[in-house]
Structure 1
Amino acid sequence: MNLEYKSLLPEGFAASSRVWVYQASRLFSINEALQIEGMLEDFVSGWNTHGTPVKGFGALFFGQFIILMADETAAGVSGCSTDSSVRVIKQIEQTYQVNMFDRQMLAFVVKDKIQMLPLAHLNHAIENNFVTPGTLYFNNMVLNKEELENKWIIPVKDSWLAKKIAKTA
């Protein structure tokens, strides 16, 4: 599986640009992905904060992760403009019957595929070596472009999950 994504991120956005990562509960089909990309383009082109256009970016990565980014160097993102971004994600949820807000579902790269694992099953996965310190984990809690580039897809041992592995070892 090709995990190269950094070249797909927009140039000209500050490293401090705010980032939101939404993970779908399943892989989108090609048709769905194309429709979602269109929805994200429409949203970003009209994204405003108090009447000022937001320098924004939105895209679907790996057929399962929606990334929204706002460069706040020109105009900060207000609560209302953040709410509008959440509305488009909720619209995607309803339209495609997926969950985009389940923070208890973890994503890993296992056997060259993205595999979803409920947090409640993590200890079992660790005990049976399905998840190891070197397993790649999607750290969807990244906050800005710099973190997205450097800390989104990381080995479990470099994430908050490292403590879980230490407890079960």
Structure 2
Amino acid sequence: MYVPFDELPASARLWIYQANRPFTDAELTALQPALRQFAADWTSHGRTLAASADILHRQFLVIGLDEAVADASGCSIDASVHFVRGIEEQLGLQLLDKSKLAFLESEQLLLLDRRELRSAVAAGTIQAATLYFYNTISTVGQLRAAWPAPAASTWLARYFQPVVS
């Protein structure tokens, strides 16, 4: 059962898939019916799921599930990953690659390879207050409250600690 994303409860489970490039206007328009259809048809062991899917910041595919209605099973999660892979193939982009970190700097989304993080912090490109898209958050409430969040308030905090000699 499709639920508009902004009507999901704060407790709804969340999956975030980061694209390796922004979605184009044409892609966003073409994807909307497919996202809605996926959410409407998504089931778990024959039970209807109260779900939604949307694109945020032109870069992130988010899937939300109200587990108070019914929770996802391994098979239904596999079905969602299959759906995401289909989008990758259809649009020629990557959504399952976790090697890039996303930051918001001066209203621009910056993708940074994980291996470049330490040098970007040292150079001042990424600072403690730089907004970071922490894509492993697990609820819609977390998304609404602090996504993106200042880098120093996430797992990246250790990169901003003073070096003790």
How many residues are aligned here?
161
1:104 matched to 2:107? no
Q: Deviations over 1:31-56 (max 9, x none)?
A: 01111222111101111111111000
Instruction: Name stretches of at least 5 consecutive residues in structure 1 with no aligned partner.
Output: 1-7
> Hey, what does 1:36 align to over in structure 2?
31
TM-score of the aligned structures, taking structure 1 as reference length:
0.89
How much has 1:75 moved relative to structure 2?
Answer: 1.2
Instruction: Specify the code of the residue in structure 2 equivalent to 1:10.
Output: D
Q: Deviations over 1:80-126 (max 9, x none)?
A: 11111111100011111111112220000112200100010011111
Conserved? CA contact 1:20–1:67, under 8 Å? yes
Instruction: Name stretches of at least 5 consecutive residues in structure 2 with no aligned partner.
Output: none
TM-score of the aligned structures, taking structure 2 as reference length:
0.91
Conserved? CA contact 2:5–2:53, under 8 Å? no
CA shift in 2, pair 1:121/1:168, >3 Å: farther
State the 4+ residue runs in structure 1 displaced beyond 4 angstroms: none
1:148 to 135, 139, 143: 143
> Hey, what does 2:159 align to over in structure 1?
164
Instruction: Specify the code of the residue in structure 1 equivalent to 2:88.
Output: E
How much has 1:15 moved relative to structure 2?
Answer: 2.4
RMSD: 1.6
How much has 1:167 moved relative to structure 2?
Answer: 6.1
> Hey, what does 1:128 align to over in structure 2?
123
Instruction: Specify the code of the residue in structure 2 equivalent to 1:48.
Output: T
Instruction: Specify the code of the residue in structure 2 equivalent to 1:89.
Output: V
Instruction: Specify the code of the residue in structure 1 equivalent to 2:124.
Output: N
Distance 1:76 1:9 in 2: 17
Distance 1:91 1:22 in 2: 13
Matches within 5 A, 1:79-118: 79-118=74-113
CA shift in 2, pair 1:167/1:106, >3 Å: farther
Q: Deviations over 1:39-80 (max 9, x none)?
A: 111101111111111000100111110110010112111111
